[in-house]
Structure 1
Amino acid sequence: MANIKKGDTVLVIAGKDKGKTGRVLEVLREQDRVIVEGVRRATKHVKPGQTARGTRTGGIEVVEAPIHISNVQYYDAETKRGKRLGARLEEVERDGRTRVARVRVTRGHGDAEKDI
């Protein structure tokens, strides 16, 4: 199960972009991959065409390619390093009932757990 979600800031821990950080644009669960802003950029050749207004489209575009989810780690901006993620069960009161909800927390490096 992937703990990384869309919008999280992640640190690349393996590959040619190791050490870079970026925001997750999309999570591809079926392929266990994520698309990270500014990481693993590839050139894509797009066939020239025209829009309804007459503007030209196409040419060479630079896009982010997917990276395997095992090569990224949640980035904690306060400590400026990667963190492991876990979950904690908490009792939450909703509509007059007490329910159990999962809360994502950071773990590791000897620091106290912190809610995300």
Structure 2
Amino acid sequence: MISVDVERQRVLVEGVNQVKRHTKAGTTGRGARTGGIITQEASLHISNVMLVDPETKQRTRVGYRTETVERDGRERTVRVRVAKRSGKDV
């Protein structure tokens, strides 16, 4: 992952959603700029990004499992995120 824009809920992932920009040759304040076709990554909405399974190293969905944990002498119910593909904790 390259960057995350929290306000717009978008992420920039390396090698994913590549677009081609056609740039015109010209001059900038620092010198001449060559024209051509540039390939670069475009941002994705955060809902379209999946987690990587810690065991199989493939993308996976996320599920939840409830556990009862004892803290400070009291029992609490805690939700734990689980990879659907392997069942391991994320």
TM-score band w.r.t. shorter chain: 0.5 to 0.7
Kindly tell me the number of residue pairs found equivalent between the two proteins.
72
Deviations 1:55-95 (A, max 9, x none): 75332100100011101111125313325399xxxxxxxxx
Letter paired with 1:113 = D
**Distance of aligned partners of 1:71 and 1:50 in 2 relative to their CA distance in 1, 3 Å threshold:** same
Hey, which bits of structure 1, 4+ residues long, moved more than 4 A? none
Q: Residue 83 of structure 2 aligns with which residue?
A: 108
Aligned to 1:62: 39
Residues in 1 aligned to 2:61 and 2:5: alpha-carbon distance in whole angstroms: 21
What is the percentage of aligned positions where both structures have the same residue? 42
Distance 1:111 1:43, change over 3 A: same
Shift of 1:29: 1.0
Which amino acid counterpart does residue 64 of structure 1 have in structure 2? Answer: E
Scaled by the length of structure 1, what TM-score is found? 0.47
Q: TM-score, normalised by structure 2?
A: 0.58
Structure 2, gaps ≥5 residues long: 65-79
Alpha-carbon separation, structure 1, partners of 2:35 and 2:81: 43
Structural RMSD (CA): 2.9
Give the match's secondary structure for 2:24: strand
